[in-house]
């Protein structure tokens, strides 16, 4: 007798089968769906792991997440982390400032001068010269 690692509902099984037949999902979603269907057929965790080139631990985690959250686990949840401090508009403003005319008495923009001017023009509340450098480094600007 095969060990039953997972028993999908008919609705979930049908959804996963249709998802795989379309082939329009992200690779990680397809791998997780395939793992669930194989586990539903009574295949061992290690066999599924070997088939999908994953670890035994990963497959068991997928199974446990399905049991806890249902099919919601197929897609990744938003990840925690430090929020973006400078959005695209602020970066564009800073880049435009770096490409603009320099203040009178200055031969070219310095990073510290750009940082001070960006705060003065209220592009942002605060910005360090090293943040200015990293933002401008991502552009092809050679004005500094």
pLDDT at res. 129: 92
Task: Indicate yes or no: pTM above 0.75.
Answer: no
112-142 burial, b for 16+ CB within 10 Å, e for fewer?
ebbbebbeeeebbeebeeebbeebbeeeeee
Q: Please tell me the distance from the alpha carbon of residue 102 to that of residue 138, in angstroms, as a whole number.
A: 21
pLDDT in tens, 35-59: 999 999 988 999 999 999 999 999 9
* Rounded Cα distance, 92 and 65, in Å: 41
Q: 79, 113, 81: which is closest to 97 by C-alpha? A: 113
pLDDT over threshold 60, residue 143 = no
Phi-psi region of 54 (alpha: psi -120 to 50; beta: other; left: phi over 0): beta
Two tokens, residue 83: 């929020």
Q: What residues does each domain of the chain span?
A: 10-74, 88-137
Condensed to tens digits (0 to 9), the pLDDT of residues 76-129 reads: 888 888 877 888 899 999 999 999 999 888 899 999 999 999 999 998 889 999
> What is the 3 state secondary structure string of 76-134?
CCCCCCCCCCCCHHHHHHHHHHHHCCCCCCCCCCCHHHHHHHHHHCCCCCCCCHHHHHH
């Amino acid at each position: 007798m095969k060990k039953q690692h997972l028993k999908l509902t008919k609705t979930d099984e049908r959804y996963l089968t249709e998802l795989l037949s379309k082939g329009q999902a992200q690779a990680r979603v397809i791998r997780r769906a395939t793992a669930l269907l194989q586990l539903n057929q009574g295949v061992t965790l290690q066999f599924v792991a070997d088939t999908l080139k994953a670890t035994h631990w990963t497959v068991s985690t997928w199974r446990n997440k399905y049991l806890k959250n249902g099919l919601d686990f197929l897609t990744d949840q938003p990840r925690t982390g430090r929020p973006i401090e400078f959005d695209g508009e602020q970066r564009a403003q800073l880049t435009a400032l770096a490409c603009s005319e320099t203040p009178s008495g200055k031969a070219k923009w310095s990073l510290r001068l750009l940082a001070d001017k960006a705060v003065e023009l209220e592009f942002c509340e605060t910005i360090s010269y090293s943040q200015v450098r990293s933002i401008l480094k991502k552009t092809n600007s050679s004005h500094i």
